Amino acid sequence: MYLNRLILIGFIGADAETRVGSSEQKFAVFSVATKRSWKNADGGWESRTEWHRCLAFGKLGEFAASLREGAHVQVEGELRSRGSEEDGINHRVFECRVESILKLDRAVRGEAPDSGDDLEL
């Protein structure tokens, strides 16, 4: 049995971009930042942020294109890699092929209705 499942919970680094692939298929590209924090030997806190490139296709890509910088999301998908060569140097890029996106942001609260009681301090 094999399993290639990636679950990321983090924040969108920049507004998602819509692109068109070689087969004229539209997709959305966005980055998700995850962070890990730990106490070092001196008792101080250290942290490390990882950036994850994500690709979403089809209807999910249309939804992903609406994601804005700072949005809190849970992304699930498959880890993929692809290689390329540039100036004689081989590069390998790892990305998440997104299968689901859950927006974790809280709903924006409207202003409280006017109760008629104005307090002056």
Q: What distance in Å separates the CA atoms of residue 3 and residue 41, rounded to the nearest whole number? A: 36
- The pTM score is 0.77
Residue 11 has pLDDT above 80, yes or no: yes
Q: Residue type for 62, please? A: E
Q: What distance in Å separates the CA atoms of residue 89 and residue 98, rounded to the nearest whole number? A: 28
Backbone CA torsion sign across 57, 62, 63, 65: positive
* Per-residue pLDDT at 59: 92
Mean pLDDT of 15-20: 88
Residue 121 has pLDDT above 50, yes or no: no
Q: What distance in Å separates the CA atoms of residue 63 and residue 53, rounded to the nearest whole number? A: 16
Q: Which of 5, 97, 13 is nearest to 60 (CA)?
A: 97
* Per-residue pLDDT at 106: 73
Mean pLDDT of 94-104: 95
Q: What distance in Å separates the CA atoms of residue 92 and residue 29, rounded to the nearest whole number? A: 17
DSSP E strand stretches across the chain? 6-12, 17-20, 26-39, 45-57, 72-86, 89-103
Which is more confidently placed, 82 or 115?
A: 82
Which is more confidently placed, 106 or 109?
A: 106
* Per-residue pLDDT at 15: 93
* Per-residue pLDDT at 45: 95
* Per-residue pLDDT at 12: 95
**Nearest-5° Cα angle at 18, 12 to 20:** 140
Under 8 Å between Cβ of 85 and 107: no
Please give the share of the chain, as a percent, with pLDDT higher than 90: 69
